[in-house]
Amino acid sequence: MTTLHTELKAGTVILTLNRPERANAFNFEMTNELQRALTEAENNPQVRCVVITGAGNVFSAGQDIGEMKKGGGEISYREHLEKTYNPLILQIRNMGKPVIAAVNGPCAGAAFGIALACDLRIAKSSAYFVVGFSGIALAPDSGISLFLPKYIGLGRAQEYFYSNKKIPAQLAYEWGMVNQVGGFNYQRLVTQIAGELATGPREAFAAGKKAFNRAILPNLEDALNYEGILQDVAGKSAEHKEGVAAFFEKRRPKFG
């Protein structure tokens, strides 16, 4: 079974994260498939808009921790980020075509960063967001350290990183992090907005995105690189080992 389902409809390509048995958590295969699909979408003249969503009732739980730890040896989180999420985040921001995150359910960790990197976020009313990293004693990565304070303010970003509390879709909308929230009409809302973007002025959209990137996110690449440096240190800590052990043992971590 492919880890990414691709469907082209009326100028919009829908990319569905497809590991429902693992809450659509990212493994290397799915990350690589998403990178390839975005490249193909950028180069395909029939594609005018991209939607990223999740299979079932979950957007994505973020990185599959089990895959990261299955080898048993020490992992360089910086090297991992440089091969996976850093290029993926930059790819989304550098795409000339609009990219929508259709957040159909829980969205956490690296998947939260991917959603924040998209141009628009449309959330189902039952969806929520979790920063996630502090639960296993890691720093935020996948651009979250830059994107989240820009959307909700530094104080709130730090609060929700420290606490690991859920940000419900409606609250995310009130804070400006989510563009639209839909209940029973969620799917129709996604289709409508994607359809409007797919019939819009492609070249002007691409130019506008470049302008926004230059004005608001000129330091994105530096931020991603620095996240990798911090994550490499955090990933070697005793706190992280305890956080991961607690995660697999389904207990509360003891950090001190």
**Cα separation, 125 vs 192, whole angstroms:** 17
- Degrees, nearest 5: CA angle 242-244-248: 115
The whole-model pTM stands at 0.96
The CATH number of residue 97's host domain is: 3.90.226.10
Cross-strand partners of 121: 101
Identify the pLDDT of residue 199. 97
**Cα separation, 141 vs 109, whole angstroms:** 8
**Cα separation, 51 vs 68, whole angstroms:** 27
CB atoms under 10 Å from CB of 232, counted, come to 17
Identify the pLDDT of residue 75. 79
**Domain interval for residue 11:** 4-184
**Cα separation, 42 vs 205, whole angstroms:** 13
Flag whether 115 is in a domain: yes
CB atoms under 10 Å from CB of 92, counted, come to 23
Flag whether 19 is in a domain: yes
Q: Is the dihedral of CA 49, 93, 167, 56 positive or negative?
A: positive
Q: How many helices (H) and strands (E) does the chain have?
A: 12, 9
Flag whether 195 is in a domain: no
- How many domains, the chain? 1
Task: Name the burial class of residue 64, with classes exposed (0-12), middle (13-18) and buried (19+) by CB atoms within 10 angstroms of its CB.
Answer: buried
Flag whether 170 is in a domain: yes
Rg (CA), the chain: 18
Whether 61 contacts 80, CB under 8 Å: no
Q: How far is CA 109 from CA 24, 79, 137, 179, 197, in A?
A: 12, 18, 12, 20, 28
Flag whether 207 is in a domain: no
Flag whether 51 is in a domain: yes
**Cα separation, 207 vs 114, whole angstroms:** 21
The secondary structure of residue 111, as a DSSP letter, is H
Identify the pLDDT of residue 192. 98
Flag whether 205 is in a domain: no
Can you read off the two tokens belonging to residue 224? 């991603």
Whether 125 contacts 173, CB under 8 Å: no
Flag whether 33 is in a domain: yes
pLDDT digits (tens, 9 = 90+) for 183-199: 999 999 999 999 999 99
Q: pLDDT of the chain along its 256 residues, tens only?
A: 699 999 999 999 999 999 999 999 999 999 999 999 999 999 999 999 999 999 999 999 999 998 877 665 677 899 999 999 999 999 999 999 999 999 999 999 999 999 999 999 999 999 999 999 999 999 999 999 999 999 999 999 999 999 999 999 999 999 999 999 999 999 999 999 999 999 999 999 999 999 999 999 999 999 999 999 999 999 999 999 999 999 999 999 999 7
Whether 58 contacts 18, CB under 8 Å: no
Identify the pLDDT of residue 256. 79
